[in-house]
Amino acid sequence: MAPWPPKGLVPAMLWGLSLFLNLPGPIWLQPSPPPQSSPPPQPHPCHTCRGLVDSFNKGLERTIRDNFGGGNTAWEEENLSKYKDRQQEAPDLFQWLCSDSLKLCCPAGTFGPSCLPCFGPCARCSGPEESNCLQCKKGWALHHLKCVDIDECGTEGANCGADQFCVNTEGSYECRDCAKACLGCMGAGPGRCKKCSPGYQQVGSKCL
């Protein structure tokens, strides 16, 4: 005999339907199957390659720290001998091996499976937006995930001659010649002279 229908309209209807269709019982009475465990995700080949490079670099640091002696001689012979011929042309092992040679990772300045370009000054990024930067190109500084131009002229990072003045540009700077009337200057024109050249005299704020 079928078990007495449960209380409530909806449970009773499900119970009756299961009897009519000769089912073993309503769905709500059946024990749920045990959850099937999904296989663990496989690491991206790029991450694997980066791990190998990091391991290699750590071994190289240990070897240098030990003055290339008394360390793991087998490791030195097997790894350093293969890399030393490439080190001059490819100082960045990760870039050379994982990006340029094996094509497992996106080159610098790109992101994602399709290696889309990062926003202008970003050297590494997580997306295409200005606020997705993770590392900046030379001449830029990372600030709240954005690359901000460094004013080399204002931070004394420029290296201009005595008769030149500095002009900041995006990601860099330019050294431009002072006016002929100037011995040293702080900007363009005879009104920005530090001193006047021989044959010129200061008239007001200018060397004329």
Show the domain range for 124.
110-149
pLDDT band per the 50, 70, 90 thresholds, residue 27: very low
80 lies in some domain: no
Report the 10 Å Cβ neighbour count for 25: 14
- Look at strands 140-143 and 133-136 and give their pairing: unpaired
Question: For position 160, what pLDDT does the model report?
Answer: 94
Report the 10 Å Cβ neighbour count for 178: 25
Rg value, the chain, Cα: 35
pLDDT over 80 (residue 117): yes
Average pLDDT over residues 75-96: 67
In percent, the amount of the chain with pLDDT more than 90 equals 43
88 lies in some domain: no
173 lies in some domain: yes
pLDDT over 90 (residue 174): yes
Structural tokens at position 190: 């005879």
Q: Do residues 172 and 197 both lie within one domain?
A: yes
pLDDT band per the 50, 70, 90 thresholds, residue 19: very low
pLDDT band per the 50, 70, 90 thresholds, residue 135: very high
Three-state SS for 166? Answer: strand
pLDDT band per the 50, 70, 90 thresholds, residue 119: very high
pLDDT over 50 (residue 99): yes
168 lies in some domain: yes
Q: Are 151 and 168 in contact (CB under 8 A)?
A: yes
In percent, the amount of the chain with pLDDT more than 70 equals 70
Report pLDDT digits (tens) over 136-147.
999 999 999 999
Q: Do residues 169 and 144 both lie within one domain?
A: no
Q: Are 192 and 165 in contact (CB under 8 A)?
A: yes
121 lies in some domain: yes
Q: Do residues 145 and 117 both lie within one domain?
A: yes
pLDDT band per the 50, 70, 90 thresholds, residue 58: confident
Q: Do residues 139 and 116 both lie within one domain?
A: yes
Higher model confidence: residue 116 or residue 28? 116
* Mean pLDDT, the chain, whole residue set: 79
